[in-house]
Chains A and B, each alone.
Chain A
Amino acid sequence: MKTVIDAHNISKTYNKENIPVYAVNNVHLHINQGEFTALVGPSGSGKTTLLNLIGGLDKPDEGKIEINGIDISAMSPNKLIDFRLLNIGFVFQSFNLIPVLTAKENVEFIMQLQGIPKAAREERINNLFKQIDLVDKMDSRPAQLSGGQQQRVAVARALASKPQFVLADEPTANLDTASASNLLDIMALLNKEENITFIFSTHDARVIERARRVITLVDGRIVSDTAKVAVHEE
């Protein structure tokens, strides 16, 4: 199976009152194409920091991260922006849709940054909104959508650029049970049908339950890495 993410002994420290604290400590991680992985652990265990490092939003102090064999740790900030645009999809805990754009425009925005022609954009938008079941809300502004609907639009936005993988930071944290379940169904379906790689950071048992691989972090270290694919398939 193709390796999408290859993190080699990465560490990230923050200075807390001049004392260095390891947010991520010597983590070695491989994520393969099509995985549906959950990063779990208590608050402050380094889940979000690890996602930020993998997503090229932050740089490790030690080690290197390769995405499809490309070392992103050595990239300049400007190159990283372009790399993220073309390779990585993000779903944030607080949805973070651009409030002045409609749901459709939020999704289209990424494709426009990528320079995708209008006709291709329209086709992909229609498909994505069908997949997230929000065709009737395409022209609504984020403020007019429920939390669950906003997060589904955020997933569509993350997928709009046809990324190598999607990083989702606590995607269900602000959702009610029904919305969270609905969102997970959509992501699981996209993972299954389009072989899209999803990596979540989460506390949510519902997400952990649906994940096929669960990586547990404590104090910035991976303490367990469990693949559940076989169990599910059985």
Chain B
Amino acid sequence: MIFRIAWRNIWRNKMRSLVIILSVAIGLFAGIAVLALYKGILNSRIHTVIYAETGHLQIHHKLFKQDNEPQFIIHQGEALLAALKKNSTVKLFTTRTITQGMLATSTGSAGVKINGIIPGKEDEVSGLANKIIAGKGFDPTKKNQVFIGNKLADKMKLKTGGKLVLTFTDVDANMISAAFRVAAIYQSDNAPLDERNVYVQQSELNQMLTIGNAFHEICIILQNDALTDIVRQQLQQQYPEQLIESWKDISPETDLMIDTVDTTSYIIIGIILFALAFGIVNTMLMAILERTQEIGVMMALGMNRIRLFLLVFLETVFLTLIGTPVGLAVAWVLTLYYQQHGLNWSSAGEEVMRSFGFSSMIYPEFPTEKIVAVICIVLFTALASCIYPAIKALQLQPVEALRK
């Protein structure tokens, strides 16, 4: 009977019940939306890191990363490449020659990381060709061409066809200066990297560095992301003389983001639900105060405090249980829509997003694995919110309640 009374009570004031149902639904929707958005941003960032910046794995000479000295080439590189070709977990790989240098134009200079790349392979591994926003890429008939990032081009007031000088040291510490022409200007989702990295043809850079066919970096794309740690361990065991790093080692800020994103999103959900709790407390309190005399009658007739508490509790449970699927459904539909069509945040600050290495196009993902936790948190909040109104109901004295 208490279930029946509770169920019917919630429909006595439809508008008030609707407010709680909507509050629960909006709270749940907001919670899921935050998680979906974070998951989308995170996955997008991880995708960018792996497929546009670092690859799944990178191999270097053990000392190369300490000083970025060009003499620290990968030993027996050709044999290593042959082994990678046979490795079924490896999908793609490319080699890079890398040196630190100075880029100078008539307007100024900037420190840069000069990447010697094999154009076709680099496009496959990091999608460099897709990032070009001006120019056509390397022309095989021309020498000394360079790709520079959009931000660097703006800073150095360079356009395609513009001339610049790259200065660096070779393996014997001889200073090398060479003039290059801007073949293309590229723009990735990571503005700081664009400002620092320039790309030239590997064969030309190798010649200037006098390292023959050697290289400093192998960038590997695996068959899938889940293989990263396993393959890294396997390769490290096979090639202990090389430094083998995963994208998590190379981009620790992304790894840190994965660790902290859950905490951050739960804090945001907590703030949303805190507001929800106030709404429920207020509405349930109104419902109790409105029914003071009725509660007095029930107590006079012999309804004990446990049953009275249960009545208030059940009313909140019913309202919450109606609000929960509504919130879930709305969140699911909207997430699914934006998962397919993307959420374009460029108008809200594309530059800001890029400066942190994020794409302005976000594809939220329904956080299936966290749904149970979110529902539990929302239910707990809703039910905890009814405790105060329930206590107020329990504190009523029948004789006083009957007088109201």
Q: Does residue B279 face the partner (Cβ distance < 8 Å to A)?
A: no
A161 at the interface (CB under 8 A from B): yes
Query: Chain B residues with Cβ under 8 A from A108's Cβ?
Result: 1
Residues of B near A82 (CB, < 8 A) are 302, 304
Q: Which residue of B lies closest to A110 (CB)?
A: B301
- Are B297 and A101 interface neighbours, CB within 8 A? no
**Contact with B1, one of A55, A92, A112, A157 (Cβ below 8 angstroms):** A112
Does A86 contact B297, Cβ atoms closer than 8 Å? no
Which of B4, B5, B299, B402 is the one whose CB lies under 8 Å from A81? B299
A72-129: which residues lie under 8 A (CB-CB) from chain B?
A: 78, 81-82, 84-86, 90, 92, 96, 98-101, 105, 108-110, 112-114
**Contact indicator A105/B1 (Cβ below 8 Å):** yes
Q: Is the CB of B307 within 8 A of A98?
A: no
Q: Would you list which residues of chain B between 241 and 292 have a CB under 8 Å from chain A?
A: none
Smallest beta-carbon distance A189→chain B, Å: 23
CB–CB A55/B300 < 8 A? yes
Identify the closest chain A residue to B401 (Cβ). Answer: A57
How many CB-defined contacts (below 8 Å) exist between A and B?
65
B293 at the interface (CB under 8 A from A): yes
* 1/0 contact string of A1-25 vs chain B (CB within 8 Å): 0000000000000000000000000
Task: Assess whether B294 is interfacial by the CB under 8 Å rule.
Answer: yes
| B298 close to A (CB within 8 Å) | yes
B9 CB–A CB distance under 8 Å: yes
Contacts of A225 in B (CB 8 A): none
List of A residues within 8 angstroms of B303 by Cβ: 81, 85, 113
B4, A105: Cβ atoms under 8 Å?
yes
B176 at the interface (CB under 8 A from A): no
In the complex, which residues of chain B have a beta carbon less than 8 angstroms from the beta carbon of A157?
301
Of residues 54 to 72 in A, which have CB atoms within 8 Å of B's CB atoms?
55, 57-58
Does chain B have a CB within 8 A of A131?
Answer: no
Question: Given A57-B399, A96-B293, A113-B307, does the pair A84, B8 have CB atoms closer than 8 Å?
Answer: no
A52 at the interface (CB under 8 A from B): yes
Contact among B8, B293, B307, B399 with A58 in the assembled complex (CB-CB below 8 Å): B399
Closest Cβ of chain A to B300, distance in Å, is 6
1/0 contact trace for A132-161 toward B, CB 8 Å?
Answer: 000000000000000000000000010001
Within the complex, the shortest CB–CB distance from B292 to chain A, in Å, comes to 12
| B370 interface contact, C-beta 8 A | no
Cα distance A114–B294 in the bound complex, in angstroms: 19
Interface residue? B14 (CB, 8 A): no
Q: Is the CB of B302 within 8 A of A85?
A: yes
Given known contacts A112-B1, A113-B302, A113-B307, A100 and B297 CB-to-CB distance under 8 angstroms: no
Query: With A and B bound together, what is the CA distance between A101 and B9 in angstroms?
Result: 10
Q: Are A81 and B302 interface neighbours, CB within 8 A?
A: yes
Query: Is B398 at the interface (CB under 8 A from chain A)?
Result: yes
Chain A interfacial residues counted at CB < 8 A? 26
User: What CA separation (Å) do A108 and B4 show in the bound complex?
Assistant: 12
Q: Tell me whether B4 and A161 are in contact (CB under 8 A).
A: no
* CB of B305 within 8 Å of the partner chain: yes
**Which B-chain residue is minimally distant from A89 (CB atoms)?**
B301
Which residue among A52, A92, A98 has the maximum number of chain B CB atoms within 10 Å of its CB? Answer: A98
Cβ of B12 within 8 Å of any chain A Cβ, yes or no, is: yes
Looking across the interface, which residue of chain A has its beta carbon closest to that of B298? A98
Q: How far is the CB of B377 from chain A (nearest CB, A)?
A: 31
State A123–B8 Cα separation when bound (angstroms): 25
Let me know if A100 and B1 touch, CB within 8 A.
Answer: no
Interface string of B66-92 (1 = CB under 8 A from A): 000000000000000000000000000
- Bound CA span A92–B297, Å: 9
Closest Cβ of chain A to B308, distance in Å, is 9
- Closest B-chain residue to A96, C-beta based? B297
**In the assembled complex, how far is the CB of residue B49 from the closest CB belonging to chain A, in whole angstroms?**
59
B36 to chain A, nearest CB (A): 39
Residues of A within 8 A of B9 (CB): 100
Distance between B396 CB and nearest chain A CB, rounded to angstroms: 11
Chain B nearest CB: distance from A69 CB in Å?
A: 20
Contact (Cβ within 8 A) B402 A92: yes
Taking CB atoms, residues of chain A closer than 8 Å to B297 are 90, 92, 96, 98
- Knowing A57-B398, A57-B399, say if A90 contacts B300 (CB, 8 Å): yes
Establish whether residues A57 and B300, one from each chain, have CB atoms under 8 Å apart when the complex forms.
yes
Given contacts A81-B299, A81-B302, contact A52 B1 (CB under 8 A): no
Known contacts A86-B302, A112-B1; A101 and B8 CB within 8 A of each other: yes
Tell me, rounded to whole Å, the shortest Cβ–Cβ distance linking B48 to chain A: 57
Q: Which of B12, B298, B300, B301 has the most CB of A within 10 A?
A: B301
B302 touches A110 (CB 8 A): yes
Q: How far is the CB of B14 from chain A (nearest CB, A)?
A: 13
The CA of A157 and the CA of B294, in the complex, are separated in Å by 15
Say which residue of B8, B301, B399 sits within 8 Å of A85 (CB atoms): B301
CA distance A86 to B304 in the complex (A): 12
Name 15 A/B residue pairs within 8 A (Cβ), A-sorted.
A57-B399, A81-B302, A82-B304, A85-B301, A90-B297, A92-B297, A92-B402, A98-B294, A98-B298, A99-B294, A100-B12, A105-B4, A113-B1, A113-B301, A157-B301
Binding site for A on B (CB under 8 A): 1, 4-5, 8-9, 12, 293-294, 297-305, 307, 398-399, 402
Q: Which 3 A-B pairs have the closest CB atoms?
A: A85-B302, A100-B8, A57-B399
